[in-house]
Amino acid sequence: MSNKLTAEFFGTFWLVFGGCGSAIFAGAFPEYGIGFAGIALAFGLTVLTMAYAVGPISGGHFNPAVTIGLATAGRFAWKDVSGYVIAQLIGAVAAAVVLYLIASGKPGFEAGGFASNGFGERSFGKYGLGSALIIEAVLTLFFLIVILGSTSKRAAPGFGPLAIGLALTLIHLIAIPVTGTSVNPARSTGVALFATNGALAQLWVFWLAPIVGAIAGGVIWKWLDRDG
């Protein structure tokens, strides 16, 4: 089991370091910034690459909501959920620490949002609480359906990580203007610890909505695949 937890740690570290790092270091420069599309692609690539690298060891969850959704669908043991979630949180926080150490080396550094998630005044488009709850729940629901479908025994073998990575890219393209895109409580928690814009006060949304969406996705997939 320790190798699975270590794989989840490294996978989640890479997701936060690569995805949030792209936003922190390369997202805002007008002369060469990668913009929302580049950040979305970065998040997708982190999951795609680590799903191929360590997915065969741990299943490649890298996300507490995904772990809970898979357990709901009967594809993961409930007894192992807490260990996975803890490993994912540690990986996310560790990545945020490294990002902070790098970012703070720039003269005049201010953490600000630090790639955290938010709604209202902390949303790029100033979307409210209701919008944040709905989009995070709906996108996580569909993310779970993609994950469960692309890794099912009836799916073409070997293509699961590609579908999952592309799905996460699409999710970010949709939701960055609304919440900055979470669909992952660990990702939200790691960077919120260092943000100075009050992101911690809104963190509950980025636990509640993705978990509700993931459970719904697990239930729906279990029904869709009932003859599988």
Percentage above 70 pLDDT, the chain? 97
Among 20-24, 64-68, 152-156, the minimum mean pLDDT is found in 152-156
Average pLDDT over residues 164-192: 96
Can you tell me the distance from the alpha carbon of 126 to that of 205, in angstroms, rounded to the nearest whole number?
15
- Calculate the alpha carbon distances from 173 to 40, 61, 94, 176 in Å: 6, 21, 26, 6
Question: What are the phi and psi torsion angles at 142 (to 5°)?
Answer: -70, -30
Question: What's the confidence (pLDDT) of residue 29?
Answer: 61
pTM: 0.93
pLDDT class of 228 with cuts at 50, 70, 90: low
Per-residue pLDDT band at 114 (split at 50, 70, 90): very high
Q: Can you list the domains of the chain with their CATH numbers?
A: 2-224 (1.20.1080.10)
pLDDT grade for 157, boundaries at 50, 70 and 90: confident
pLDDT at position 30, please? 56
Residue-level pLDDT at 153:
84
Tell me the pLDDT tens digit for each residue of 116-146: 999 999 999 999 999 999 999 999 999 999 9
Q: In which band, very low, low, confident or very high, does the pLDDT at 108 lie, cut at 50, 70 and 90?
A: confident
